Amino acid sequence: MLTNQRRIQIEWGDCDAAGTVFFPRYLEYGDACTNALFAKAGLFKPVMLKTYNIIGVPLVDLRARFIIPSDFGDEVVYETSITEWGRSSFTVQHQVFRPDGVLGLEIFEKRVWVTRVAGEGPVTFKSQPIPDEVKQRFTHPTAVSAD
Which residues carry out catalysis?
16
Q: How far apart are CA 73 and CA 16, in angstroms?
A: 13
Q: Of 65, 81, 77, 72, whose CA–CA distance to 102 is shortest? A: 77
Q: How far apart are CA 38 and CA 19, in angstroms?
A: 32
User: Sign of the CA dihedral 23, 65, 125, 54?
Assistant: positive
- Element spanning 102, H or E: none
The SS3 of residue 51 is helix
